[in-house]
Amino acid sequence: MAGAEGATHPNGNANGAVVEEKLDELRRQLGKADGDPLRIVGVGAGAWGSVFCALLQDAYGHLRDKAQVRIWRRPGRAVDRATAGHLFDVINAREDVLRRLIRRCAYLKYVEARLGDRTLYADEILRDGFCLNMIDTPLCPLKVVTNLQEAVWDADIVVNGLPSTDTREVFGEIGRYWKERITAPIIISLAKGIEASLDPMPRIITPTQMISNATGVPLENILYLGGPNIASEIYNKEYANARICGADKWRKPLAKFLRQPHFIVWDNSDLITHEVMGGLKNVYAIGAGLVAALTNESATSKSVYFALCTSEMIYITHLLEEEPEKLAGPLLADTYVTLLKGRNAWYGQKLAKGELTLEMGDSIKGKGTIQGVSAVDAFYELLSQDSLSVMHPEGNRSVAPVEMCPILKALHRILIKRDRPADSILQAIRDETMYDPRERIEMAQGHSLYRPSLLGQPKGDVKA
């Protein structure tokens, strides 16, 4: 792959006529003049945000007169000595990385950091191709900007790599810089998380909506990209797919622009619901991690949990979507990969083992923000509202939807109320009065559960 220096990635990536044609096509659609490069800016440098920008740098960075890729991250985040030592080992295990750093006269500072003679900073190592949340996977060198206004003021495409919990604040600041813009940029959001709003009615607010509200950029220019993937594996060219969701105007051109031989990008018009599903799977991934650790990786217990949690997710999708069946594949695929190797399942395991505590917060060194924690709170708060009531199958009585989601209730008590220990998740899945998962799915399919107000829409609106 071609890095910031025009170097070639050891896995190889032909930057030929096809790549340049894709870039030229998108430039034409954006009305870019000759000599004016397409400016792509990543905002936030977590694992997926950094990998996404590195993929674009590898694909298009050698075409310097036509494309410019850069990434913003906050300055001043120090790399502790233990991490610096591990980073030094990673560098020396990869001859290509070692040679590149020596050639850039950058190797000595990693030697000094390992010895404790100097402090490295996250933005500094990112310029050399190392993401603080993904030390074991060297990237190509990236153009890093620590001044947010400088990074975004003239951007054509902005990639939101921030956690959902930071999106509103940072894009509120960006919105002030864009007040004088004549044309709106395109924004691709990678964030998987939601907020709850109860006024004037209970509804979900997604990162794309936060961005539109904060910046004034119309929703047709804001897209969501998600899929069943792990950032480090994508950069190492494991075959993966993703889906870019949004309005017709940009999703197909961007799907074509982002597609690579090992990273297939499909497109879909259903922006908000796919975005919400990206947050929902993080909720249940934390529970999966708890169960795995508490049962010593019992395959039987994990399968019981999977059956129960997927039935709850299916139930919730029937509340959110008039035709929920079309979401089953993407939701289950994303859930599966997150349970296998995602940070939310990892977090659940560490909590259950006592290696992490809730008092440490949901931003974990070396992993970034655990977005499932805030998503548990948001989904619980929304589904607890009596105004969204559903019929309980027993007693012909009306209840809040959360009463049909015992795992979500248990996770809320463990993670948010903190009045139950981690092992109470096992009580939730072993309750002899719990419904067969099949019955919950049948309830969802047999009743009119759809509550379009949850996504802030009247019935029949198109979510694109």
Residues with Cβ within 8 Å of residue 329, at least 6 apart in sequence: none
Contact 358, 364 (CB under 8 A): no
Kindly state the tokens that stand for 377: 């709170």
pLDDT in tens, 323-358: 887 777 788 888 999 988 999 999 999 999 999 999
CA atoms within 13 A on the CB side of 447: 22
Contact of 444 with 422, CB cutoff 8 Å? no
Structure tokens at 115: 């010895």
| Burial tier of 433 (Cβ tally within 10 Å: 0-12, 13-18, 19+) | exposed
Res. 426: pLDDT tops 70: yes
- In Å, how far from its chain's centre is CA 392? 34
With a pLDDT cut of 70, the percent of the chain lying above it is 95
- Kindly name the residue from 22, 66, 109, 281 that is annotated as catalytic: 281
Could you give the angle at which helices 95-103 and 81-93 cross, rounded to 10 degrees?
A: 110
Convert the pLDDT of each residue in 136-182 to its tens digit. Answer: 999 999 999 999 999 999 999 999 999 999 999 999 999 999 998 99
Tokens of 84: 């610096």
Closest-CA residue to 148 (of 39, 51, 54, 42): 42
Q: Note the pLDDT of residue 49.
A: 97
Query: With 60 as the cut, is the pLDDT of residue 44 above it?
Result: yes
Q: Residue 271's Cα: distance from chain center in Å?
A: 14
How many residues appear in the chain? Answer: 464
Q: For the ranges 42-46, 216-220, 417-421, 437-441, which has the lowest average pLDDT? A: 437-441
pLDDT digits (tens, 9 = 90+) for 366-383: 899 999 999 999 999 999
> For all residues of the chain together, what is the average pLDDT?
91
- Is residue 281 annotated as part of the catalytic site, yes or no? yes
> How confident is the model at residue 462, as a pLDDT?
39
What is the predicted pLDDT for the residue at 264? 96
- Model confidence at 395, pLDDT cuts 50, 70, 90, reads low
The better pLDDT of the pair 255, 455 is held by 255
pLDDT tens digit sequence for 11-26: 344 457 899 999 999 9
CA–CA dist 232, 229 (Å, integer): 9
Q: Mind listing the pLDDT tens digit for each residue in 251-274?
A: 999 999 999 999 999 999 999 989
d(Cα 136, Cα 231) in Å, to the nearest integer? 12
Q: What is the pLDDT of residue 331?
A: 82
More confidently predicted of 224 and 395: 224
| CA–CA gap between residue 411 and residue 165 (Å, rounded) | 19
Domains of the chain from N-terminus onward: 20-75+144-269 (3.40.50.720), 272-454 (1.10.1040.10)
3 state SS for the chain: CCCCCCCCCCCCCCCCHHHHHHHHHHHHHHCCCCCCCEEEEEECCCHHHHHHHHHHHHHHCCCCCCEEEEEECCCCCEECHHHHHHHHHHHHHCHHHHHHHHHCCCHHHHHHHHHCCCCEEHHHHHHCCCCCCCCCCCCCCCCEECCHHHHHCCCCEEEECCCHHHHHHHHHHHHHHCCCCCCCCEEEECCCCCEEECCCCCEEECHHHHHHHHHCCCHHHEEEEECCCCHHHHHCCCCEEEEEECCHHHHHHHHHHHCECCEEEEEECCHHHHHHHHHHHHHHHHHHHHHHHHCCCCHHHHHHHHHHHHHHHHHHHHHHCCCHHHHHHHHHHHHHHHHHHCHHHHHHHHHHHCCCCHHHCCEECCCEECHHHHHHHHHHHHHCCHHHCEECCCCCCEECHHHHCHHHHHHHHHHHHCCCCCCHHHHHHHCCCCCCHHHHHHHHHHCCCCCHHHHCCCCCCCCC
The answer, yes or no, to whether residue 125 has pLDDT greater than 90, is: yes
Banded pLDDT at 458 (limits 50, 70, 90): low
Q: For helices 299-320 and 271-294, what crossing angle results, to 10°?
A: 160
> Nearest CA to 245 among 228, 261, 225, 260?
225
Q: How large is the average pLDDT for residues 172-197?
A: 95
Taken in order 111, 115, 118, 121, the sign of the CA dihedral is positive
- Whole-angstrom distance, CA of residue 222 vs CA of residue 308: 34
Residue with tokens 């969501």: 224
CA–CA distances in Å: residue 403 to residues 44, 316, 338, 381, 440? 37, 12, 25, 12, 12
